[in-house]
Structure 1
């Protein structure tokens, strides 16, 4: 009888472990979101007076790779080649209203955001090809708009790739993108 109970217990345990779920580890590049107005989601809940009458205009979802002592631009991110602007999937930018970026009108909606970097300027690409991993399947025919902006050097090294928004005036915001010692600012008229 004792042997039968041991066999039944072993059988139950083996069946339970065969059906156990596994949870893969975290990705090396965490996902982030940037809003305009800045911190919109947080302030809407915890500090509504801070956002006042501003309505949500833009949200970017992206992954934040780290420099980790590497030479980033020109090496890790080659010049003259379309890059996903971060890690993992290409960032997705959502405009909640029509905007004008660098003189180009974009309708409200979702776009993949890619970058064509050079030493002196970046071309920011807004594509209708959503849900793409990296820029491996980039198709120029799906570009909705391209905007070229000058490269700036940051005062300090930016360890993790980041995107932030800043209000310039009542109708203009800047989308600031930075990593390592490189930054660009993309003007957006709302």
Structure 2
């Protein structure tokens, strides 16, 4: 009796499992502008980080940087969610002290310079709800032009004498944002 009860239970359980729609979990396609992250130091073995940025990586695909990040308009600095920057130690942008914490990084592109904005809003999609009242620091930085062109929007931290530089590049545009500590 026990053996037949066990077999009947097993068959019933298997029937239930097989009747569940295998397609019930719909997963989205790969994002066209995938998330990426950069941190400093960028050696994965170094756990004592100074900064990290998480951002979406839009692609030019035959378009200009100005089409995707128009001059004079606040931009999320990447694709999808606004770029999220974390400082693990207090930093200074120009003469403005930024306390360790998580912030949103916005930019305002220009022909010869971009304005970099550190804002205390978090979990922001795009720049649609940007509020200048929540700005922590701003700095206008001249752009440079590179010989090579980057198809995908890119960011990387590099070492500076007294801090780090957040390097931003897209197309031939290059921007170096100096943070000191």
Q: Same fold (TM over 0.5)?
A: yes
Task: Answer whether contact 1:104 1:147 (CA < 8 A) is retained.
Answer: no
TM-superposed deviation, 1:172: 2.8
Using the size of structure 2 for normalisation, the TM-score is 0.86
Count of residues in Structure 1 that have an aligned counterpart in Structure 2: 168
Do the aligned partners of 1:101 and 1:188 also contact (CA within 8 Å) in 2?
Answer: yes
Moved more, 133-142 or 15-24: 15-24
How many Å separate the matches in 1 of 2:178 and 2:123? 25
User: Following TM superposition, by how much is the alpha carbon of 1:43 offset from its aligned partner in structure 2, in angstroms?
Assistant: 3.0
Question: What's the C-alpha RMSD, in Å, of the aligned pairs?
Answer: 2.0
Residues 166-181 of structure 1 mapped to structure 2, 5 A cutoff:
166-169=158-161, 171-181=162-172
In the alignment, what sits opposite 1:25?
Answer: 29
The answer on 1:187 being equivalent to 2:178 is yes
| Offset at residue 89 of structure 1 (A) | 0.2
Aligned to 2:141: 149
Q: Superposed, which structure 2 residues align to 1:45-124 within 5 Å?
A: 55-73=48-66, 75-124=67-116
Q: What's the TM-score once normalised by structure 1's chain length?
A: 0.82
The alignment partner of 2:133 has SS state of helix
CA 1:77–1:19 in 2, change beyond 3 Å: closer, same or farther?
closer
Please say if 1:44 is aligned against 2:46.
yes
SS at match of 1:167: strand
Between the aligned partners of 2:122 and 2:64, the Cα distance in structure 1 is: 29
| CA–CA distance in structure 1, aligned partners of residues 53 and 109 of structure 2 | 19
**SS of equivalent to 1:43:** coil
